[in-house]
Structure formats: structure tokens, C-alpha cells
Amino acid sequence: MKKTKIIDRNSFLKYAEKYGTPLYVYNGDLIINRYSELYNYITWPKLKILYAMKANYNVGILNLLKNNRAFLDTVSPAEVHLGLKLGFEKEDILFTSNNITDDEMHEVKKTGVLFNIGALSSLEKFGSVYPESKVCIRFNPDVYAGEHKHVQTAGSITKFGVLLSEVDRVLEITNKYNLKVIGLHEHTGSGIGETEKVYESMTSLLGIAKRNLFPDLEFIDFGGGFKVPYSPTTKRIDYASFGKKISSIFSNFCKEYGKDLFMYFEPGKYIVAESGHLIIEVNTLKNNRGRLIAGTNSGFNHLIRPLLYGSYHQIENISNPAGEIKIYDICGNICETGDCFAEQRELSEIREGDKLIIKNAGAYCYSMGSIYNLRAMPSELLIVNGNELLVTKRPSNKELAELVLSGSNLN
């Protein structure tokens, strides 16, 4: 695998100058390396890595992954349409439905992509309208894991998946409508630090497969959740050992099962998180009774993870890297007190006009963004092999106001 070129401080300053800030910059070479290395770590040969595009639907990133023969995990009809429009084959896309309307069900079914269904009533409805279809069933593996309670997607307090104990009801419905269950699925959570939890949830789901209830099984999908370190003190998981262990669990299962099935994973964060940086500019400095507050030209509408999950993102002052270390709150320009990227953070001295980079901003940052306070989303720049691709251009304030007006019936 090619060594990934990192984007250095001077390049970030150059991009900020050229494209303006706030600006998202993604390292496309790192994305491809992260995607490809999973195939080296997980040695089971019948492996498919589906990129969970909810993490970042940037069209440049999707094209890059498609050109590297990636598969896609989608969660909404528009994600399915976008994937297909970009040239992903329908066979390479999985649609994990979650509380969809009937219209959405018909809309996605027409595209021909495979449904992954995680509720008995949805399965019943799907079977009654589309008997004899192929389908994947999402189970709740009853394992709690993930870096925040909002991203733990299994266990007692979750809306996701069919209970393991409800497998007989699944069988009743699939038999009634002659549905062909070709896949079993689980997704335990996002940012799983304890690898044991992954092995545990794999074992839960494989327990269902081992009962030989579904003769048409082609794959088992163990979801996403591969953790990346956000803080400099967090140790990176040894993915080589992890990959070997999960391959061995799966290979032992297949021996016992009597057939070599495909193993799927659906990482989002692992593939794109570390590739992303948000460059912002400090425009206001304030001293609130000794508390230094750096006000910037971005906010939680552009990167909500600190506010939503209390997430830590490393921040660096790229304009004054050798400055004296001081303690700052790094805040945004949104009219809410919670609008801070970091509180009481050590950073080299900040002057008005300095550029800061927020690291690990590739996953669940732009894709969770909004135009709250009517502030436009930043432009997005993708760097591949030194080439700059401005994938998304930030509208001006006037253009944003026009966009709002043009979307209204009243104009």
C-alpha cells in the first residue's frame, strides 16, 4: 500500500488563503488507504467493506471510493439515489431501513437495492407487498458498546433491530411471504473501543445463523463502529490483531456451518474521520474575568460533535504554532451558549486573524451540518495525490438568502 501523504501546516494555510474559511479539507489518499487496509487486516477472503455514507456523503469522496471498487451502506432513499447516480451498482448497495414510510419503501424497492429490515412490522409490510424478495434481517445483538450513549445502537434502550428472541416471528413472516433471507445484520454502535464487545456481538448474531433457520444465507454483516483515536492520548486499536481475530471467529463459524459465507462490515468513521480538517479563523478575542475566549467564523452548525456527544477534537493554531501556550475556550458564531468546539483547551497563543484547524473532522461533521442562524455550510476541498478538487462551494450570504427564498412558496 502507498504511504499516505499528510497535508502539512503550510498547505492548510495556502488552502485557507485560496478558498477562504471556514473550509473543510479532506485527504483523499488517506481515505483510500483506510478503505484498502481493512482488506489486509481482515484476512477472510470473502469480505465486503461497505462504506457507511452517512459519515460523509461528499461526492468527491464517494467517487474516489467507487473508483476503488467500494460497496455502500445507505440509510435513506436519497442516499440510495445518490449512490446509484454516481455509478455504484445496485448489487453493491445495502439499504438499512429505519422507520421508513410506505412511499419510501416503494421508492427504494424500485431501485433494486437489497433491503436490510430491523422491525417485525416493517418486515410484514415488505413481505406482503413484495413476496419472494431477497432480504437481509437486522438483529439487535444485545451488546452495549459505542463512544456515547446516543451512538450505542444495540441493547435494551434502542430503536434498532429485531430482538434475538424474536427470530421465530421472523421465520413465520419470511415463510408466509416466501422471502429469501440472504443476509443477517447487526450494528452494535459507533466508535467501539473494546474489541471484546465486537467479538461478543459477532458471536450473538452467528448464534442465530448456526441454527440453520435461513437456508439461503449468503452473507453476515457485522455493521460498523471501528474506533479511531480523537485525542492524542487515546491508543489506536491494533487493527491487524483485531482483523485476524474476527477472521478466525468467522472462519470457525463457516467450518461449523458447512459453507463459506461472505462477511460484511460497514465502517463510516474509520474510513473518513481522520482524513478531514475544518479550517476556521479567529475574529474576536475576549477575556471574561480571566477566561480567554476565542470567537471564530464557524460554529456547531458546521461541526456539532462536541455539543451533541461531548466529543473531543484536537485543535491546532496553524498561524502561530510556536506561540506561548495559553488556555482558551474556542467558540463559534452561532447564537447559543453551547456553541463551543472546546473549553479550557491549551493552545499556542491566538491572535485575531489566526487560522485554527480542527482535526478528525471527516466523519459526522459536514454530513451533520446545517444552515442554522442562516449561516452557509463551508466549502469542501478534496486533496488527491496533491491535486485540489473543490467539491462543494460555499454560497455567499446573499446566495443563501436567495436559496431560502426560492425554496419558499411565498416568493
Ligand X SMILES: Cc1ncc(COP(=O)(O)O)c(C=O)c1O
Give catalytic residues, as residue numbers: 335
Q: Which of residues 250-309 bind ligand X (CB under 6 A)?
A: 266-270
Q: Which stretch binds ligand X (CB under 6 A): 184-192, 236-244, 299-307, 324-332?
A: 184-192
The rounded distance, in Å, linking the Cα atoms of 328 and 256 is 57
- Residue 220 C-beta: closest distance to ligand X, Å: 14
For ligand X, the closer of residues 190 and 333 by Cβ is 190
Please name which of 51, 37, 39, 33 lies closest in space to residue 93, comparing C-alpha atoms. 51
The rounded distance, in Å, linking the Cα atoms of 160 and 20 is 41
Q: Which of residues 100-159 bind ligand X (CB under 6 A)?
A: 153
- Residue 86 C-beta: closest distance to ligand X, Å: 19
Q: Which stretch binds ligand X (CB under 6 A): 120-128, 222-230, 313-321, 339-347?
A: 222-230
The rounded distance, in Å, linking the Cα atoms of 372 and 335 is 9
Q: Indicate the burial class of 59 (C-beta count within 10 angstroms; 0-12, 13-18, 19 or more).
A: middle
For ligand X, the closer of residues 54 and 302 by Cβ is 54
Q: Which stretch binds ligand X (CB under 6 A): 36-44, 186-194, 330-338, 380-388?
A: 186-194
Chain residue whose CB lies nearest ligand X: 224
Q: Which stretch binds ligand X (CB under 6 A): 201-209, 224-232, 367-375, 380-388?
A: 224-232
| DSSP letters spanning 361-377 | -SSSSGGG---GGG-PP
Say how many residues touch ligand X, by CB under 6 A: 18
What is the helix (H) or strand (E) element at residue 78, kind and residue range? helix 77-85
Q: Which of 190, 275, 296, 319 binds ligand X (CB under 6 A)?
A: 190
For ligand X, the closer of residues 187 and 305 by Cβ is 187
Q: Which of 23, 49, 66, 73 binds ligand X (CB under 6 A)?
A: 73
- How far is Cα of residue 306 from the mean position of the Cα atoms in its chain? 16
Q: Which of residues 359-388 bind ligand X (CB under 6 A)?
A: 363
Query: Which residues are CB-contacts of 383 (< 8 A; sequence separation ≥ 6)?
Result: 7, 11, 25, 26, 27, 28, 29, 389
For ligand X, the closer of residues 114 and 363 by Cβ is 363
Please name which of 375, 331, 367, 272 lies closest in space to residue 57, comparing C-alpha atoms. 367
In the numeric block, the cell 474516489 is attached to 64
For residue 234, which amino acid is it?
A: T
Q: List residues binding ligand X (CB under 6 A).
A: 52, 55, 73, 96, 153, 187, 190-191, 223-226, 266-270, 363
